[in-house]
Amino acid sequence: MADRHLDLKGLKCPWPILKTGKVIKDLSAGDTVEVLATDPGAVQDFEDYCEVTGHDLVESDVSDEVYRFVLRKVKREARPK
């Protein structure tokens, strides 16, 4: 079960990613967020988002044209100075 849930159905790119990024920023490392979206472009957007940010895309599926994603926040290592 996810720690947070976002119903972003009806929103088009870039809103699902922007709203998810805002929520995931406030989560602790290891916490998860479940996102529901209807924009087919969200599939590639969430894959790209996780690749860029380093967060884990734990689950991704679709049912009745609703895309479901579960992301896990990964602790970021401090950058060396």
Domain ranges of the chain: 4-72
CB atoms near residue 49 (< 10 Å): 21
Split at pLDDT 50, 70, 90, the class of 9 is very high
pLDDT score recorded for residue 31: 97
Catalytic residues: 13
CATH class for domain 4-72? alpha beta
pLDDT tens track for 19-55 = 999 999 999 999 999 999 999 999 999 999 999 999 9
For residue 80, what pLDDT band results from cuts at 50, 70 and 90? low
- Mean pLDDT rounded to a whole number for the chain: 93
DSSP, residue by residue, 11-70: PPTTHHHHHHHHHHHTSPTT-EEEEEE--TTHHHHHHHHHHHH--EEEEEEEETTEEEEE
- Residues of the chain above pLDDT 90, percent: 90
Q: How far apart are CA 43 and CA 61, in angstroms?
A: 9
